[in-house]
Amino acid sequence: MDRFRVALIDDHEIVARGFADLFGTIAGIQVVGAVASVDELLRTVAGNPGNPGNPGNPGNPGNPGNPGNRIDLVILDLRLSDGSTVTDNVERLRTLGATVLAFTGGDDATLMRAAARAGVLGVVRKSEPASVLLDAVTRAAAGETIASTEWAAALDSDPDLADAALSPREREVLSLYAAGAKAPLVASRTGISEATVIDYIRRVRSKYERVGRPASTKIDLYKRAIEDGILPVPGQ
């Protein structure tokens, strides 16, 4: 089975070295780079012909002929000294087919909101113990959203987080489905048909899309449910 391939973008050399040491011996995880900017990572990828993309992202199939070039997750410092923005950086990294986990040393809610709106998987503070970052990467490898108290608070205070205006029934269906239940189980618990559950999920996705908060995947729906207080932040 392929190892989960992780890269770090942080312009502090000591952090980059510590990251490589921390993950270098973890079974199932391969460190493919620790660089100072998105430009540097993109140059590294461009220097290795063919990008296989991410099979989980049909919009970026890449070139399957070179699996050694795949990047599954990028851990991104939110405040880089090259003048780049969080939104730009996340968008450029997603062209690689990688998911992004934000890494921050400060309490800047504006940066965290920008990261959340750009579609990062979650946020980890640099002040957390190494075990927290390890756990976050392990959960990211399993496709989970990495929510934290700080992230939830930043979203809560976001004046630009548009209300999708979900109905009570849509919120109920979303709470069950986004928490992991499949359509038949949601139908059983709510007393409606499976076809109706699927229709509700379609409507929920459409409402989020209309207010600029797309939720095309189940992970996206989970994130929207946390953002809107429909599901609790994990660990709370």
pLDDT tens per residue, range 115-160? 877 878 888 888 888 888 888 888 887 767 676 666 565 555 555 5
Contacts of 199 (CB under 8 A, 6+ apart): none
CATH code for the domain in which residue 138 is found:
3.40.50.2300
Backbone φ, ψ for residue 129 (5° rounding): -60, 155
Band (164; pLDDT cuts 50, 70, 90): confident
- Number of structural domains found in the chain: 2
Question: What are the tokens at 74?
Answer: 């990028």
3-state secondary structure of 100: strand
pLDDT in tens, 188-222: 999 999 999 999 999 999 999 888 888 888 888 99
In the listed set 95, 126, 156, which residue is the last one of a domain according to the structure?
156
Q: What is the pTM of this model?
A: 0.61
Q: Which pLDDT value is given to residue 170?
A: 94
Residues 177 and 140 in one domain: no
Residue 187 forms part of a structural domain = yes
What is the Cα–Cα distance from 160 to 42, expressed in whole angstroms? 31
Residues 111 and 177 in one domain: no
Residue 201 structural domain: 168-227
Single out the residue of 37, 8, 4 nearest to residue 20, CA to CA. Answer: 8
Residue 162 forms part of a structural domain = no
Residues 218 and 144 in one domain: no
Question: Is the confidence at residue 181, as pLDDT, over 90?
Answer: yes
Q: How far is residue 41 CA from its own chain's centroid?
A: 18
Count the neighbouring beta carbons within 10 Å of the beta carbon of residue 236: 8
What is the Cα–Cα distance from 79 to 85, expressed in whole angstroms? 8
The answer to whether the beta carbons of residues 159 and 192 sit under 8 Å apart is no
Residues 176 and 127 in one domain: no
Residue 132 forms part of a structural domain = yes
